[in-house]
Amino acid sequence: MSGLGRTTRMPECRCPFCGHKLDGVTSGPGQDPDATPRPGDVTYCIQCAGVLVFEGDPLSVRKAAAEEVREIMAELPAASVLATALAMLHHGRERPQ
């Protein structure tokens, strides 16, 4: 079993880092499998691992600010730090769209 929750469809938007089409979100291990995203929740792009924050109505995503990324890192259990470190490598790196 993967430990992943259900996938929730959301209005199509693009990753502000890499331009990848985003139209759904799946809760990860240790999270409520039936959770749905709300403005202020954090996610990452499945294509480039850019750290994203949900916002608006209809729901879309934006790049997480550097301070938000630091706060996320401080709250993570040690087992998640490596995966999040990969996302950190992409944070702030501009990519052509």
Distance between CA atoms of residues 56 and 83, nearest Å = 27
- Of residues 73 and 54, more confidently modeled: 54
For residue 33, what pLDDT is reported? 78
All structural domains of the chain, each given as residue ranges with its CATH number in brackets, are 7-90 (2.20.28.160)
- Picking from 4, 16, 76, the residue whose alpha carbon sits closest to that of residue 44 is 16
pLDDT at 85 over 60: no
For residue 75, what pLDDT is reported? 78
Q: 92 in helix, strand or coil? A: coil
pLDDT tens digit sequence for 17-68: 999 999 998 877 777 878 889 999 998 888 888 899 999 999 999 999 989 9
pTM of the model: 0.73
Average pLDDT over residues 78-89: 57
Distance between CA atoms of residues 30 and 5, nearest Å = 9
